């Protein structure tokens, strides 16, 4: 049995403004007060894990202990099939310290072409970890399947959204309205699972 969240507030252990905006929407109907790691002055831990799960857990546990309240972390990224899942857990690092996603998307395109440009399928993955100050953690995962387009399209969203076209759609995540991305995103799928396993009272 998963541990249930029964507090009134939690820390959102992310320093990514795009994610924080999406979580603000996702949490709206649930009546939980969200404090961000930034507003509490929490440091950004080094993401030394090899999997999304490892990194989500290390970020959530560090924040829960530092803030002494439950903390939710999101570790996510884009996995290109032709690149054996790259950039994967390195998705943020491909953009460098300047967070230059124009350069990161260009690198992705260059590597797809170098790999033969025959398979442009990809998935966005999101792992959420909810940790308590005693170290207990629950994790859930969500995925959005699609393909990588070129050139980038749209100026909404964040990160790699301008090159990601979800299956069955004609708009990239960056061309969609936030409420449309929310219907099908990896983050929304993981969030729905989190609500079912750890938040909803039966």
Instruction: Return the active site residues.
Output: 75
Residue 139 near which of ligand ITT, Mg ion, none (CB within 5-8 Å, type-dependent): none
Residue 74 assigned as binding residue: no
Output DSSP code: residue 87.
B
Complex with ligand ITT: residue 4 or 123, whichever CB lies closer: 123
Please choose, out of 23-31, 70-78, 106-114, 129-137, the segment that lies near ligand ITT by the rule CB under 6 A. 70-78
Residue reference for tokens 């090899």: 50
Q: Which stretch binds ligand ITT (CB under 6 A): 25-33, 75-83, 110-118, 132-140?
A: 75-83
Dihedral of CA atoms 142, 82, 84, 152 in degrees, nearest 10, equals -50
Task: Tell me if the bond preceding 42 is cis, omega within 30° of 0.
Answer: no
Phi, psi of 11 (to 5 degrees): -90, 140
CB of 202 to ligand ITT, least distance (A): 30
By beta-carbon proximity to ligand ITT, the closer residue of 27 and 173 is 173
Q: Using CB under 6 A, count the residues that bind ligand ITT.
A: 21
Binders in 85-104 for Mg ion, by CB under 5 A = 92
Nearest C-alpha neighbor of 143 from the set 76, 90, 197, 84:
76
Q: 143 pairs with which residues across the strands?
A: 125
- Please say which residue, 183 or 200, places its beta carbon nearer to ligand ITT: 183
List, as one string, the DSSP characters of 74-91. EEEEEEEGGGTT-BGGGT
Binding residues for substrate are 14-19, 76, 158-161, 181, 186-187
Binding residues for Mg(2+) are 46, 75
């Amino acid at each position: 049995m998963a541990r249930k969240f029964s507090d009134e507030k939690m820390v959102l252990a992310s320093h990514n403004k795009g994610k924080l905006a999406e979580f603000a929407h996702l949490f709206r109907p649930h009546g939980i007060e969200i404090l961000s790691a930034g507003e509490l002055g929490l440091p950004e831990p080094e993401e030394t894990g090899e999997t999304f799960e490892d990194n989500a857990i290390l970020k959530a546990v560090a924040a829960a202990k530092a803030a002494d309240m439950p903390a939710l972390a999101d570790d996510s990224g884009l996995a290109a099939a032709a690149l054996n899942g790259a950039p994967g857990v390195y998705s943020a690092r491909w953009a460098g310290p300047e967070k230059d996603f124009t350069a990161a998307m260009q690198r992705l395109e260059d590597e797809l072409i170098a790999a033969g440009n025959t398979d442009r399928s990809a998935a966005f993955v999101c792992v959420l970890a909810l940790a308590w100050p005693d170290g207990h953690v629950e994790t859930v995962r969500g995925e959005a399947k699609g393909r990588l387009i070129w050139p980038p399209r749209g100026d909404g969203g964040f990160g790699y959204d301008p090159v990601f076209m979800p299956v069955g759609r004609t708009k990239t995540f960056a061309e969609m309205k936030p409420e449309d991305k929310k219907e099908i995103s990896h983050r929304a799928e993981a969030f729905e699972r989190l609500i079912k396993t750890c938040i909803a009272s039966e």
